[in-house]
Amino acid sequence: MSADGGQVAGVCAERFSAVRDAFVDLFATGQDVGASVAVSLDGDLVVDLWGGFADGDRSRPWERDTIVNVFSSTKTVMALAALVLADRGALDLDAPVARYWPEFGANGKGDVRVRHLLGHTSGLSGWQERITVDDLCDWEKATSLLAAQAPWWEPGTASGYHALTQGFLVGEVVRRITGRTLGRFVAEEVAGPLGADFHIGVGTEHDARVGRVIPAATGLPTDGDWSSLVIRTLANPRFRADDTWAIPWRRAEMPAVNGHGNARAVARIQSVLACGGSVGGRRFLSEAGCAAVFREQANGVDLVLGIPVRFGMGYGLTSPLAPLGPNPRTCFWGGWGGSLVVVDRDARMVVVYVMNRMGEGTLGDTRAFSLVNAAYLALAG
């Protein structure tokens, strides 16, 4: 059925009308400017809604095919791609990174494992050398610097959120194995076969559809005590949300932070994991490949985020301190400003929220959680 509520369009199964109502309320109360929400159940879209405007000037409507930078929600797509490669036997999650990327073994990193990259425990949450946003668009420079430096803590002992570096680390491993960039691997092996409109590295043909994020009043730190792990991670480079408006950012591949898509596209991709590896008659992962997500890599106060986080293989895992749903096999991650991806393996459900008006949080905010809660209420009947 068609969604109502003025600014909101799309389809929503009546069973999930609570999600539609919660989404409409975000616009009615002024919390959102432009956004999309999707719920996939058993591989089928039961909610696919969008609304508002694609820009802060409110001059362009958010259309069905509008895409936007989803920041760290990109990490869920990157992680799925790595899991697909591991499931095929091309990547051993327990192997040293240096097996695939020999230069990485320098400076005491010979025993850093691939799973340490996916679990944010490698000790490489940032760059030792001062870099710029332009350097993030230079794949060879960004990866070479990481290969050369020493870990900032003993790998495998704790998580320290790899906000920007995770994409370069995992992406370079994928490139060494496949000869393809991670963005190309996703396009050819995951998003393309699924018909998912998601891009890590946006081509010129999509420019007219890209919405601009609207920065929050408070951004990331831009300077501080360089001895602080938090500052070295989050203030290097000095980065503002509106840096994502630039064409070089859009064209580059930063698999941890610059994926562009909408809720429908991300839900389609993550339905692979929710449905045990098979969607639309095509198998992307085995049951064992899906189960790998839930191998705990860290469980404690994250050295960068400063909050308790339980990490699995590339995803956050539900826990008493971060209960994303009632089921134990639930994983998630969110993006700076508010986007959120929740994958419930037990319910075979995915909930995704993507927006342009950024909130103050780094891992989702009340807008996303209201939609997730509504989806679970609908599921419970």
Question: Which CATH number goes with the domain that contains 42?
Answer: 3.40.710.10
Structural domains in the chain (count): 1
Question: Domain range holding 138?
Answer: 8-380
Q: Please, how many CA atoms are within 13 Å of residue 157, restricted to the half-sphere of its CB? A: 8
The reply to whether 246 falls in a domain is yes
Give the whole-number percent of the chain exceeding pLDDT 90.
91
Q: Who wins on pLDDT, 222 or 303?
A: 303
pLDDT one-digit tens code per residue, 224-265: 788 899 999 999 999 899 999 999 999 999 999 999 999 999
pLDDT one-digit tens code per residue, 190-225: 999 999 999 999 999 999 999 999 999 876 777 778
Average pLDDT over residues 264-293: 97
- Note the pLDDT of residue 5: 39
The mean of the pLDDT values for the chain is: 95
pLDDT at 158 over 70: yes
Q: Which long-range contacts (CB under 8 A, 24 or more apart) does 226-235 make?
A: 229/125, 229/126, 229/152, 229/153, 229/160, 229/303, 229/304, 230/304, 230/306, 232/125, 232/126, 232/127, 232/128, 232/152, 233/125, 233/126, 233/160, 233/161, 233/163, 233/304, 234/126, 234/163, 234/304
CA dist 306 and 148 (Å) reads 27
Q: Tokens for 345, please give them.
A: 């393996």
Cβ atoms of 78 and 171 closer than 8 Å? yes
- Note the pLDDT of residue 364: 67
The reply to whether 278 falls in a domain is yes
The reply to whether 3 falls in a domain is no
- Note the pLDDT of residue 321: 82
The reply to whether 2 falls in a domain is no
pLDDT at 24 over 80: yes
The reply to whether 18 falls in a domain is yes
The reply to whether 131 falls in a domain is yes
Per-residue pLDDT band at 4 (split at 50, 70, 90):
very low
The reply to whether 112 falls in a domain is yes
pLDDT one-digit tens code per residue, 61-97: 999 999 999 999 999 999 999 999 999 999 999 999 9
Per-residue pLDDT band at 339 (split at 50, 70, 90):
very high
Average pLDDT over residues 263-276: 98
- Residue numbers annotated as active site: 72
CA dist 74 and 26 (Å) reads 23
